[in-house]
Amino acid sequence: MMFFLEETLINTLVSLCITYTCISFPYLFIRFTERNSLLVKCGLGVLVGLASAYIFHEGIINHASLYSAIISPITFGFIFFGYPVLILGVITSTLFIFGNTSYYDVFSMVFFLCLIGFDLTKRRGMVFVIYSYSIAQSLNLISHVSALNDSGYWQLAIAKTGLSLAFLLLLYFAFGKLIDLSASKNYFKKASETDPLTGVSNRRSIDLYLKKVEESMNTQFCVFMLDIDNFKSINDNFGHPFGDTIISTVAKLIKKNIRSNDFVGRYGGEEFIIILNSSLDNALPVAEKMRVIIEEHVNEIDPQESVYVTVSVGVAEHSPGSPVNIAVANADSALYKAKTGGKNRVEVY
């Protein structure tokens, strides 16, 4: 039995490394690149399914395996990435594993059914993984009582159950540290790209976004340059804290009136840049609507203050294949035209 436990421990450590690698690298990739498509999840499902099959066959060869180690890539893939990973993982692993041993077949079917049942009732987290494992293992042992009695493997079964629970908890702890680390890194990454006053993208993030859209040469979009009119006089008459409130409110109204696939950043001071993913014909009504909404809402910030806030907007359409900075320069020229033409207006380059 000692030899069996030593081999099982070695196999378990290898399984832990495989599972952690299969989940952690895709998690970090998705977290920081935001490429969380269905295709990516399906690919991950195949990956964790193959990992489970590999762990199973290594355990068979060495006569030392834990059920929790075998199902852990699919289990944590499901926890982190959802049902596509679970479905593809189970299908892939079944092609290589199912039918090799009745012990595992009973266990795996019950385990994943319990896991799905808990998830559908909004019961998620490690505690329900443990519940699912406990239910599956109990039914597995009950269904093979005679075989265990004949072989005298009850002590090994109990020992493996304890090791399995410890293995799952160790993985949970490791992934918890991974989540904490990635969250802190993601926080600092976002902080470095976000304007602290308005919460929109800062100049560094604007430059990165413009570089990215320039690489998509056939992308159609329009550039807005939006500037708060007479902002210096607002600061002079009402103070900088009130001016900051105006800037913050304008940013919120812009974000509220564009789509999730559009972009807004604070270009500098009281000036904002907006990238609208649409043609010029569709963009112009949006720019005018934005101007009117800001004029109507910002002036309600403090009824006791007789402040009148308007914005001027310059609009330019990006020509596919041309440098993005030309569209930005054209929008800036249109903004200058709006300023010199009386302010509180939209002009097109």
* Residues recognised as catalytic: 270
> For residue 83, what are the CA distances in angstroms to 31, 40, 98, 105?
18, 13, 20, 20
In this structure, how many other beta carbons lie within 10 angstroms of the beta carbon of residue 5? Answer: 15
Residue 225 in tokens: 């340059």
Residue 7 in tokens: 């081999």
For residue 165, which amino acid is it? L
> For residue 210, what are the CA distances in angstroms to 250, 274, 287, 327?
22, 11, 20, 10
Residue 187 in tokens: 């926080």
172 touches 126 (CB < 8 A): yes
Strand partners, 311: 228
273 touches 265 (CB < 8 A): yes
Task: Name, in order, each residue with C-beta under 8 angstroms of 237's C-beta and a sequence gap of 6 or more.
Answer: 307
Whole-angstrom Cα Rg for the chain: 29
Residue with tokens 């993985």, as numbered in its chain: 171
